[in-house]
Chains A and B, each alone.
Chain A
């Protein structure tokens, strides 16, 4: 299997270790990644708010790049996945949209045809590779209690994205179980992390995060597992700010799923992945992983 890899701006520039973990695990399942000259997906919230046309055209260009190489796109960020998938839906269901976009793409020597599909690493692992295959590769089970957060933009709209059930998502939990983890049921599991309003009203954003994390800590998990770099940053950096704003005491490590997968599979150099985590990982299960209590914040 070969995919055009779409790490997205946030992962490539702020969460490099998560990107690294994806690039580490895929060859183990026979997947090859190709890098193309993608722009930002573009981010569904900000860019689309300004101009729907601009948003859909950027997305059309990105997809057209992959189509030119006859490749499907593998996304790693929920936001990118949503943006590209919704834009593709627009382009595929509204011929006038597609025509308009193609007029612009022609100037770049590109054409949107609608032949490439877009899948997220979540889907690659659960739907394409499967829990059993993953389970079989685990050499170092991680018996920790986790709460999972699939992310709004992987779940909704369910009819178009079809990643998991929008109200009762279970697939990420199953992926965690495959690594020996104990995923806990918690309230507000499908609630937003708050990232969406950070740019317009950061206080509100952290108030949302506080609600979400209050529900999470109720079941006393060891860590949060996510599948989106934006959610990752919100949970990880956001909990410190939330603690400051609302006098809360959140201190939950956050993982991008493939980091845990890489560790559980016993791949080399996984300590480099965890080095940049900002909430210390004080779990015995990770004791032989080199810890760097780095306060350095990638910005």
Chain B
């Protein structure tokens, strides 16, 4: 078992997870658990509470972020916040899924996730939709710089590269 107890972020998550009494309402409400038994929100929270560590299986990335568990939790535990926190920790360690990394790259490059193609521009023109004002690229860069997104991105770029090799 990896001792992560020194990690303040983890400790905060543990604190947030503390009221959980393992009733299973979250799991029974989870659309992903219904089709993919390896994603069990109750077990993710359990792992945080009892082992003080991020669930080893990396199941946090299977969360669909539908917030059903959070809405129904009888103890008011914010499961999505916890899963998001786990993801933030994993991301720092370069464990983000490639498609998420790609999204972040797109955001950095264009300030937008969906690719703008000639085709989609043409569609807008055909439908008589207005040209949307574009954000200042400097703003995007600044936010990436100051909020530590560059580092996270870099950690994951390396990981993606290693994976490819």
Contact = CB atoms under 8 A, between A and B. Distances in A.
Interface of A: 7, 9-10, 12-14, 16-17, 19-20, 23, 35-40, 42-54, 57-58, 61, 104, 107-108, 152-153, 155-158, 166-167, 190-192, 194-197, 199-201, 204-205, 207-208, 210-212, 272, 276, 298-299
A40 B135 CA distance: 9
A46 B113 contact: yes
B10 to A, nearest CB: 14
A13 B64 contact: no
A50 B152 contact: yes
A42, A194, A200 pick with most chain B CB within 10 angstroms: A200
Contacts of B126: 272
B161 interface: no
Interface stretch (B15-23, B41-49, B136-144): B136-144
Given A156-B71, A272-B127, A48 B84 contact: yes
Contact of B103 (A13, A47, A58, A194): A47
A39 B139 contact: yes
A104 B142 contact: yes
Main SS of the interface on chain B? helix
B68 A156 contact: yes
Contacts of A299: 115, 117, 119-120
Given A166-B71, A192-B64, 14 more contacts: A16-B124, A19-B127, A23-B129, A39-B107, A39-B140, A46-B113, A50-B96, A57-B146, A104-B147, A196-B65, A199-B100, A204-B32, A211-B31, A276-B123
A46 B88 CA distance: 10
A12 B132 contact: yes
Interface of B: 31-32, 34-36, 39, 61-68, 70-71, 84-85, 87-88, 91, 96-97, 99-101, 103-104, 107, 111-117, 119-120, 123-124, 126-130, 132-136, 138-140, 142-144, 146-149, 152-153, 156
Q: Which 9 A-B pairs have the closest CB atoms?
A: A196-B64, A192-B66, A207-B35, A156-B67, A199-B99, A39-B111, A49-B87, A53-B147, A46-B103
Contacts of B31: 191-192, 194, 208, 211-212
A57 B64 CA distance: 23
B135 A13 contact: no
A19 B149 CA distance: 31
B129 A19 contact: yes
A152 B113 CA distance: 20
Contacts of B143: 54, 57-58, 61, 104
A210 B34 CA distance: 11
Given A13-B112, A50-B91, A50-B149, A204 B36 contact: yes
B67 A37 contact: no
B103, B114, B120 pick with most chain A CB within 10 angstroms: B114
A158 B68 CA distance: 10
Contacts of A192: 31, 64, 66, 68
A20 B127 contact: yes
B127 A17 contact: yes
B134 A298 contact: no
B142 A51 contact: no
Contact of B116 (A13, A23, A195, A211): A13
Given A39-B139, A158-B71, A211-B34, A50 B88 contact: yes
